[in-house]
Structure 1
Amino acid sequence: MRYVHKELKPILEQLPELMISTEQMPAIRQFLKDHLIGDFQAHPQVECLEQWIPSQHRGREIRVLIYRSKTVQQSSPAVLWIHGGGYVMGTAEMDAGLCERFVLEAGCQVIAVDYRLAPEHPYPAALEDCYDSLCWLSENATALGIDAEKIAVVGASAGGGLTAALSLLARDRGGPKIAFQMPLYPMIDDRHQTRSSTEIQDSRVWNEQSNRSAWAMYLGGLPVPNVSSYAAPARAKDYSCLPPTYTCVGDQDPFRDETMDYVAALAKAGVPTEFHLYPGCFHGFDGYAPMTGIGQQAIQQYVQALAIFFHE
């Protein structure tokens, strides 16, 4: 990487190499489970409820976690949270701290989706799980104490890709209304044609090799001409009538250029869009927020953007 933010340099030096491959997925998933979930201490004002919701595919259910204030306000806004992990790893629990911040600072409920992962379940499994979760959330808004007119979809990395894809899918299917979308540094382009997608080679962070491996697992051998814009939203030709959008990316992220192209396309289509580019920041830098001012700044800005939208 040409330039790394001064606050991130000591963190980068401590990061292990991460080699994404089908063979390594069990070990990587176990590592993430041990290091991202095990020590979490829940906030005393937020409760987390596990629920299994019906899928539109007979015989299946989808696991979701519902984060909400213990003093639930009726008709509150809601976030459908979609975790990251390159479409191949991660769980609904891994972003518990962030989900709690949304509850406390944006005054909403958060429904985190434990969608199916590739390579065991390639596209469109994850997207259909997210769509079914959105439908369930909308249909049960009254029972959940949620304002059906204030449902936002939010996710980071692959979760950002699924956020962008879900907005396209809900628009085209005439599905539930999404009031706001927040695809953070989204994984939306399988073609690896941009400069940023090939210039990041450091194996301690998400790089070209990991990106190519993860996309191959997610698409499951789908021929390139058959890759849908619902799989890779950067391929979409029409971005009109999508929800107001907030997104951000670091300039040392492989997704930098595809995110910037996406922002430009949204703006040209008349979609209200706010975008932040963070110099010297690699993929997922905000995950190290407790240790860095730049990470705290990024999180504060997107949590605030959500709060402003919900309560303006």
Structure 2
Amino acid sequence: MPCAAISAGAAKIDASVRLILRAIRDESSRLPILGNIPPLDLGMDNLQMIRNAQFPPALSPLAVQPQERFIAGGEGNPKLRVVVLDPAPERPNKPAILHLHGGGLVVGKPEVAVPELQQLSAELGALIVSVDYRLAPEHPFPAGLDDAYAALGWLHQAAVELGVDRKRIAVMGESAGAGLAAAVSLRVRDRGEWPIRFQLLRYPMLDDRTVLRLPPAHVGTFIWNAQSNAFGWTSLLGRKPLMAEPPAEAAPARAVDLAGLPPTWIGVGTLDLFAQESIHFASRLVVAGVPVEMSVVPGAYHGFDTMVPQARISADFIAGWKSALSRSLEVD
């Protein structure tokens, strides 16, 4: 549990994001969830409790207001709920962002990220569509990806109605949502149906083989650990990860060829369980000729920027990915 880990790795944690870990330690015995971040050791025994405990943060009444819509899912799939934020409904040719929330593939919903998306939509003048994709283990691969891809298709097909410039659509996500965003980009490349201008991957969950490796003692100790990661991947794949390859769309790091993917921004902290797979994926993108920008943050753990957004390292990290997104979408 978190209380044992803080002292073990405290010297490595950036001081500006350390305090929240002590709060988690102090509250973990009585709170199933803190700040919409799942506790360590996620599994079937506490999955439903965590889902039920996730509550939407307070929204700014003066910001872009979210609108719930139901759109067609992929062929043979149920209708799909999306949350749309439009900063200027009457303005045509806006950039757009398809957003995919985090949650280890097993928890989460768009509302958890809406306050952050409200600010992003206003700053960039971009329409944002956040997808309430189906979760494992009830809906294993490829359900979540099918939902995300269907939402991208709807965004392209409804571009005129929504006032969206089809040539300026990006996909972004955090954690499991970032891995899903990378999977969407692979499917887009392979099927050639709809273009993506840019992909933004915040501490992405890309590689099921991370479950098979013993991480260094200081990595993956906070917020998202190896046990929770194993549960997430097992839930998605319907079995424990093996060295035998699942489809690349299920685990984007398994893709043999990364050429032809959109320009990419990847960010991760050095204490994050996903640090190694994120860095390796970025290096492979470079070799494949894909324009890549990467931010590796010393002393930062998984989800640090959402948990302590006011911290110095969080502010720099957030400014970096927002700048990359703004440049890619040619925001004035």
TM range (shorter): over 0.9
**Match status 1:162 vs 2:177:** no
- Which amino acid in the other structure matches residue 6 of structure 1? A
Residue 292 (structure 2) aligns with = 273
In structure 2, relative to structure 1, the CA distance for the partners of 1:223 and 1:278 (3 Å cut) is closer
Q: Confirm whether residue 19 of structure 1 aligns to residue 41 of structure 2.
A: yes
- The answer on 1:3 being equivalent to 2:12 is yes
Q: Which of 219, 226, 230 is matched with 1:208 structurally?
A: 226
Q: Which residue of structure 1 aligns with residue 116 of structure 2? A: 98
Give, in whole Å, the separation in 2 of the partners of 1:175 and 1:70: 27
2:102, 2:234 → 1: CA distance?
Answer: 16
Please list the CA deviations of residues 165-195 of structure 1 after superposition, one character each: whole Å capped at 9, or x if unmatched. 1100111112210010011110001012556
TM-superposition CA deviations, 1:232-260 (whole Å, max 9, x none): 11111100011000110000000000000
Matches within 5 A, 1:192-207: 192=210, 196=215, 200=219, 202=221, 204-207=222-225
Over 3 Å counting, the alpha-carbon distance change for 1:71 and 1:176 in structure 2 is closer
Aligned mates of 2:275, 2:309 — CA distance in 1: 23
CA contact (8 A) 2:219 2:270 kept: no
Q: Which residue of 1 aligns with 2:268?
A: 249
Which is worse superposed, 142-151 or 215-224?
215-224
Residues 295/77 of structure 1: CA separation in 2 closer, same or farther (3 Å cut): same
Query: Are the aligned partners of 1:43 and 1:100 in contact in 2 as well (CA < 8 Å)?
Result: no
- Map 1:222-233 onto structure 2 (within 5 A): 224=242, 225-233=244-252
- Separation of aligned partners in 2, 1:289 and 1:90: 19
One-letter amino acid matched to 1:264: S
Using a 3 Å threshold, how does the CA distance of structure 1 residues 31 and 18 change in structure 2: closer, same or farther?
Answer: farther
**2:51 is aligned with 1:29:** yes
Distance in structure 1 (CA, Å) of the matches to 2:264 and 2:323: 13
Q: For structure 1, which segment, 8-17 or 89-98, has the greater mean C-alpha deviation from structure 2 after superposition?
A: 8-17
Root mean square deviation, CA, Å: 1.8
Matched-pair identity in %: 36
Aligned-partner Cα distance in 1 for 2:172–2:184: 10
**Unaligned segments of structure 2, at least 5 residues:** 1-8, 29-38
Over 3 Å counting, the alpha-carbon distance change for 1:227 and 1:198 in structure 2 is: farther
| Cα separation, 1, equivalents of 2:324 and 2:232 | 30
Given the alignment of the two structures, is residue 110 of structure 1 paired with residue 119 of structure 2, yes or no? Answer: no
**Is the 1:179–1:244 Cα contact (8 Å) retained in structure 2?**
yes
Q: Offset at 1:200?
A: 3.1
Preserved contact between residue 87 and residue 214 of structure 1 (Cα < 8 Å): yes
| Aligned mate of 1:288, from 307, 310, 320 | 307
Amino acid at match of 1:21: G
Would you say 1:67 and 2:85 are equivalent positions? yes
- Alignment pair present for 1:221 and 2:239: yes
Q: Does 1:175 align with 2:217?
A: no
Cα deviation 1:211-248 (Å, max 9, x = unaligned) = 11111111112773251110011111100011000110
Q: For 1:252, give the aligned amino acid.
A: L
1:82 to 84, 93, 100: 100
With the length of structure 1 as denominator, give the TM-score of the two structures: 0.93
Read off the aligned partner of 1:275 and give its amino acid letter: M
How many matched pairs? 307
Of 152, 161, 166, the match for 1:134: 152
User: Alpha-carbon deviation of 1:197?
Assistant: 7.4
Point out where structure 1 has 5 or more consecutive residues left out of the alignment. none
Call closer, same or farther: CA 1:165–1:59 in 2, change over 3 Å.
Answer: closer
How far apart, CA to CA, are the structure 1 residues paired with 2:115 and 2:148? 21
Cα contact 1:107–1:307 (8 A) shared by 2: no
Decide whether aligned partners of structure 1 residues 72 and 247 sit closer, same or farther in structure 2, where only a CA change above 3 A counts. farther
